[in-house]
Structure 1
């Protein structure tokens, strides 16, 4: 039997509502994944949508995440099936899919991620399948059980179908995309009343469907608010964000010596 994906336990933990902590990877190198995974983050999200990752650098980052035991997710470039298949073949524990604005698209995304009852393309030679030599149906069962599918809700029109999106079979969790919602709704900040209302609507739909909520946070104030509405999986900052924050503090502290 081909080895099961290293991050297999992540989906079960997410669905149980455990508090999970991750971060975005914005730098197309394996080192950030190795460092953050080694520190004990539960999951890391390779950001193909807003960072210069290609298939080779995504492959390397996922390899590093697996080596540390962190679950490697990928925010794919688009909901297209070939973008999803590419990262799953590379061994991603799951996908964070942007702009899932309709229930119909949610169904297509879910199908692209599963073999049984879905439309995921099969290859036994990829990393996800142990690079060959295993039994096809053993691998398919393990992959279907482990693959985590998170729909990113970031379009105003998605709010009109939010209950149907949340209830879609094969969608494991909802990610609240406050950045795009803020831009699309013309809100002054990502915690303005109109955004808080959208967040509440998404969280309520997830609760009705029995699905967990994943969110991005930049600090504890945001985390405490979003925890209060039911979020259990937190993507804190990014490798770039944390590097800038630490570097900025170090620079300011040392400049102060000459003041």
Structure 2
């Protein structure tokens, strides 16, 4: 079983977003004891060669790696999983059709139509027996992000789609969609997050969200979110340096 998927059934898991091109930062995050790292290609600069190194660095420490692609792009979703990452995260899901397309891109038959190549890092470059690879590949985590009013309006239909594991709420994009960009603690934004969470729970889905304060980490945990991504590696580094200078 996917190790992070198993952990999520046992406890709240914490990770960070990564926008670095230096795999040493990813390795350090794992050494520190984080459960997962989200390697961000939506807003980050890493190319595919760098992502392979990041995935290796995470695996070296036992930390799970998730690659966030930049859209519902079947080629990018498949390519992300080919790296050997533990899962893929897809942003800006607004319709049930987009959710279905993401599932199809991330899963092999009979659950999807992902392109098959057994000579990729995920299959140990062909060393792993193809039957074993294909039998276990569908256990990778698929995280879908709902973060806009269109997605919220279509949420009931999106939640009818089977084959994804975590519903992730992006509070910053959600605040933008209601005309309050950056106001992630606004009552309207928080209320919408709770509405999404309550509906997802009725379908037995795990919940994820972004947080940029330690207090918000705690409140999300108390609200039943079990996949919490705190801040971004380069900002954490920046804030640490500021603390040194001010101290």
Deviation at 1:17?
5.4
Deviation at 1:229?
2.4
* TM-score, normalised with respect to structure 1: 0.91
Deviation at 1:233?
1.3
Structure (1 or 2) with the larger CA radius of gyration: 1
Match of 1:195 among 178, 189, 203: 189
CA contact 1:76–1:83 (8 Å) conserved in 2: yes
The 3 A distance-change label for structure 1 pair 81 and 66 is same
Match of 2:171 among 167, 175, 178: 178
1:88-117 CA-partner distances (Å, limit 9, x unpaired): 111111011000111111111011111122
CA contact 1:38–1:68 (8 Å) conserved in 2: yes
Show the counterpart of 1:96.
89
Q: How does 1:220-259 map to 2 (within 5 A)?
A: 220-253=214-247
Supply the distance in 2 between the matched residues of 1:95 and 1:234 (Cα, whole angstroms).
15
1:68-100 CA-partner distances (Å, limit 9, x unpaired): 111100111211001111111111110110001
Say whether residues 1:41 and 2:26 are aligned partners: no
Supply the distance in 2 between the matched residues of 1:247 and 1:220 (Cα, whole angstroms).
18
Show the counterpart of 2:212.
218
Q: Unpaired runs of 5+ in structure 1?
A: 1-6, 254-259
Aligned length: 245
Show the counterpart of 1:150.
143
Say whether residues 1:22 and 2:15 are aligned partners: yes
Q: Unpaired runs of 5+ in structure 2?
A: none
Say whether residues 1:67 and 2:48 are aligned partners: no
Show the counterpart of 2:46.
53
CA contact 1:17–1:232 (8 Å) conserved in 2: no
Supply the distance in 2 between the matched residues of 1:8 and 1:231 (Cα, whole angstroms).
19
* TM-score, normalised with respect to structure 2: 0.95
CA contact 2:12–2:221 (8 Å) conserved in 1: no
Supply the distance in 1 between the matched residues of 2:166 and 2:83 (Cα, whole angstroms).
22
Q: Secondary structure at the match of 1:151?
A: strand
Deviation at 1:60?
1.1
